[in-house]
Amino acid sequence: MKDALLIELRTEELPPKSLKALSEAFADTVFSALQAQQFTSVESTCTPYATPRRLALIVTEVAERQPDRLLEKKGPAVAGAVDEAGRPSRALEGFMRAAGVTFDQLHKVADGKGEYFVARREKKGEDLAEHLAEIVAQALKKLPIAKLMRWGSSEHQFVRPVHGLVLLHGSRVVPGNVLGLTSGRTTLGHRFLSAGEIVIDQAADYPAKLAAAKVIAAFAQRRRAIAEQLDAAAREFDAHIDSAEGLLDEVTSLVEWPAVYVGEFDPEFLAVPQECLILTMQQNQKYFPLLDRQGKLRNRFLIVSNMQVDDPSQIIHGNERVVRPRLSDARFFYDQDRKNGFASRVVRLGSVVYHHKLGSLGDRAQRMGRVARNIAEKLGADGNLAERAALFAKIDLLTDMVGEFPELQGIMGRYYLLHEGGLPVVADAIEQHYRPRFAGDDLPAGNVACAAALADKLDSLVGFFGIGQLPTGDKDPFGLRRAALGVLRILMETSLPLDLGELIRDAAAELGKQGIALTAVHDSLLTFLLDRLRGMLREAGHAPDVIEAVLAQRPTRIDLVPARLAAVSEFLALPESRALAAANKRIGNILRKAEDELPEPGIALLEEEAEKNLFQRVVLLSPLVRSHVANEDYADALKVLAAIRADVDRFFDEVMVNVPEPLLRGNRLGLLKVLFAQLNAVADISKLAV
């Protein structure tokens, strides 16, 4: 008999930030175990359910009993498992005991590597009741729970105390015990809007039974209902809510029967930067602030309540009373920070340790300032402004507001500097020097902001690489991968004509001026950055061989990489690309075997007609290729090189390179060396998959 299977674990309030992950992991693990033990069919599906007080799932098409199975166990190799008289060895005897078979019941199987013994026996299918409780118990042990707890006098452990267990197959309770609880068919509805136990007659009735008891059991359905109510409430005030997917997941994990209400706060709080108010309402109170069409905060917010009532005035007024002290705290921090001054905190940076091997925040600010000045001047921007932005960039880390809300670093620096009459371009650079903070984030705008952002990231990269604190595996405590991606995106997407190798050396020099001992970092850090660039380009959809052809040259002008990629992709479409790529690879192999220093090719040593023609074409095309590369016309450079294909083919068909006569051999190798340099002026075309 096949029927739906319901499993519900009723708990005290589960951690809201991990409820969704716990629910999905629980359902996946249980479903996989049922599949492995052949209780499900190919038509079976698994639906997870999760509310603040329960983890549950329903699996369709679950069999009451497993099918009979033929179990096969591989044993030792035949060779050596029996003696000359045909008696089993000790190893084979141990295998037979473990498999529960006699020697006569063994089978011999060959797999290409040799012949080995196999024990086969038929196993009768077992009832679901014999396995389900253990499947659930093992699934609970595998959940991603950081910290377990005990409750009452029990020795059982889970993320929260557990008070109920439902194991229901169709209409039949599956007997079992999990975490000290005996399975049944009863559960509870909403804590306040429902009374008494709920009896579940059929497993498939579970969502409807809970809905009647004011519980939306499915996480996704509850989340969708909240999002629709939020959107409808915002439209009533011609407003919208700030994008907050994480907050929406969190409030979905806090309620079972959601209702959205509108609250207000005193407009006088709008004098505080809206980022502060938004953050305190979202983080501390789980509210959704309302913004007008211009993105300006209004003095209203949306409350997601767990109570749907006819008169919500008490709920609304209660939340309004609660939010006022939070907003008052934000205003207090803001006022105090402005009273204490912003620029005056520069000196205090020297008393805060950045890293015991890399000095204080003050040391770091000085380094960043000089590097930012250098970068800005290379870009034709005002070096003084860039240096000032970098010097002031970390000051807001010492403010009360950022101490309370670290997410506001940079943002508050901008507000405080503007309050003291600072230049907007410097204030904007302070806010933007953290960009990009995450994948897809905006980049800093303008050369001053870009200079400050690059100085910040390069100082971190060079410093931590220099003291050997490299990312390992999935561990990156100093955010160096994020910093590397930020450097690459700024250089490439804003097309800054800066040499990455020079930037690394300049940052290392500033660390050296402060007496900080570093190991050689240039090559290792450049390799690290190019590896990150390789991943970026693959995610952007570029062909792997095209990427390898360009990055094989270890380019340091990252702004030119897109043009090189486009040129190589265009070159691949030419009919000559296949032969030239193969020839380039052949030339590279020949030159690697050459032991002596190769001379410049001379016309006097040319003997064969084919090498004379190739020499003339190389001499003719060399200035054209150099000119196109210098002008960043990479596609034209490769098109010029495509014209040499016939001469290269003829050279290899008619000319012996490694002849015994040393002068002649050296001249031909020298010619190939010049040709090789031209062929690889844009990219290493031997890497192309042609």
pLDDT per position as a tens digit, 523-580: 999 999 999 999 999 999 999 999 999 999 899 999 999 999 999 888 888 888 777 7
Which amino acid would we find at residue 525? Answer: L
Secondary structure, 3-state, 574-619? CCCHHHHHHHHHHHHHHHHHCCCCCCCCCHHHCCCHHHHHHHHHHH
Distance CA 647, CA 658 (A): 19
3-state secondary structure of 444: coil
HSE-CB for 212 with a 13 A CA cutoff: 10
User: Is 614 within 8 Å of 647 (Cβ atoms)?
Assistant: yes
Q: What share of the chain is helix, strand, coil (3-state, %, to 5)?
A: 55, 15, 30
Across 78-92, 114-128, 143-157, 600-614, the highest mean pLDDT is recorded for: 143-157
Count of beta carbons in the 10 Å neighbourhood of residue 151: 16
Tokens representing 201 are 């007659």
With a cut of 90, say whether residue 60 has pLDDT above it: yes
Place of tokens 């309620």: 255
- Judge whether residue 194 has pLDDT over 90: yes
What average pLDDT does range 370-398 have in this prediction?
95
Please name every residue paired with 164 in a beta bridge, in sequence order, or none if there are none: 10
Q: How far apart are CA 682 and CA 549, in angstroms?
A: 9
pLDDT at 690: 62
CA distance 665 to 605: 10
Angstrom distance (rounded) from CA 159 to CA 140: 10
Distances (CA, A) of 594 to 188, 481, 603, 606, 633: 82, 40, 21, 19, 32
Percent of the chain with pLDDT over 70: 99
- Which helix (H) or strand (E) segment is 169 a member of? strand 162-169
Q: 310-313: which pairs have CB atoms within 8 A and are 24 or more residues apart?
A: 312/259, 312/261
Top-confidence residue, 585 or 448: 448
Query: 70: alpha, beta or left, given left = phi > 0 and alpha = psi -120 to 50?
Result: beta
pLDDT digits (tens, 9 = 90+) for 628-657: 888 888 888 888 888 888 888 888 888 788
* Partners of residue 69 on adjacent β-strands: 123
222 band by pLDDT with thresholds 50, 70 and 90:
very high
Query: What pLDDT is attached to residue 315?
Result: 95
pLDDT band at 139 (very low <50, low <70, confident <90, very high): very high
- Six token digits for residue 153: 């006098």
Contact indicator for 217, 207 with CB cutoff of 8 Å: yes
**Which of the two residues, 649 and 212, has the higher pLDDT score?**
212
pLDDT at 488 over 80: yes
Would you say residue 9 has pLDDT above 70?
yes
Give the span between the Cα atoms of 458 and 465, in whole angstroms. Answer: 10
Residues in CB range of 290: below 8 A, 6 or more apart: 234, 237, 239, 240, 241, 297, 298, 300, 301, 302
Neighbours of 85 (CB within 10 A): 5
Question: Which of 441, 447, 449 minimizes the C-alpha distance to 393?
Answer: 449
The answer to whether 425 touches 448, Cβ cutoff 8 Å, is yes
**Alpha-carbon span 431 to 452, nearest angstrom:** 10
Is the pLDDT at 70 greater than 80? The verdict is no
CA–CA separation, 249 and 253 (whole Å): 6
**Rg of the chain over all Cα atoms, to the nearest angstrom:** 35
Position 345 confidence tier, pLDDT thresholds 50, 70, 90: confident
H/E stretch holding 300: strand 297-305
Give every CB contact of residue 8 below 8 A, 6+ residues apart in sequence: 49, 54, 55, 56, 164, 165, 166, 187, 206
Q: What DSSP assignment string belongs to 523-557?
A: HHHHHHHHHHHHHHHHHTT--HHHHHHHHTT--S-
- Nearest Cα residue to 430 out of 492, 278, 419, 511: 419
Q: In what order do the strands lie in the sheet with 106-110?
A: 69-77, 115-123, 106-110
CA distance 96 to 109: 16
**What pLDDT band is residue 61 in, cutting at 50, 70 and 90?**
very high
Query: Which pLDDT score, from 0 to 100, does residue 21 have?
Result: 95
Is the pLDDT at 386 greater than 90? The verdict is: yes
With bands split at pLDDT 50, 70 and 90, how would you rate the model's confidence at 602? confident
Give pTM, 2 decimals: 0.80
pLDDT at residue 397 in the model: 94
Query: Could you give phi then psi for residue 151, rounded to 5 degrees?
Result: -145, 150
Q: What is the DSSP letter of 482?
A: H
In 3-state terms, what secondary structure has residue 442?
coil
Count how many residues are written for the chain: 690
**Mean pLDDT over the full length of the chain:** 90
**pLDDT of amino acid 523:** 92
Q: How confident is the model at residue 595 (pLDDT cuts 50, 70, 90)?
A: low
Mean pLDDT of 220-237: 95
Whether a cis peptide bond, with omega within 30° of 0, leads into 436 is yes
Could you write out the three-class secondary structure of 650-678? HHHHHCCCCCCCHHHHHHHHHHHHHHHHH
Q: What is the pLDDT of residues 262-298, one digit of tens each?
A: 999 999 999 999 999 999 999 999 999 999 999 999 9
Output the pLDDT for position 504. Answer: 95
Average pLDDT of the segment spanning 352-372: 94
Are the beta carbons of 519 and 525 closer than 8 angstroms?
Answer: no
- Of the chain, the percentage scoring pLDDT greater than 90 comes to 66
Long-range contacts of 119-124 (CB under 8 A, 24+ apart): 119/72, 119/73, 119/75, 119/95, 120/70, 120/71, 120/72, 120/73, 121/70, 121/71, 122/68, 122/69, 122/70, 122/71, 123/68, 123/69, 123/70, 123/71, 124/68
Distance between CA atoms of residues 251 and 287, nearest Å: 9
pLDDT surpasses 70 at 426? yes
Identity of residue 300: R
- What are the residues facing 565 on neighbouring strands? none
Give me the pLDDT at residue 264, please.
95
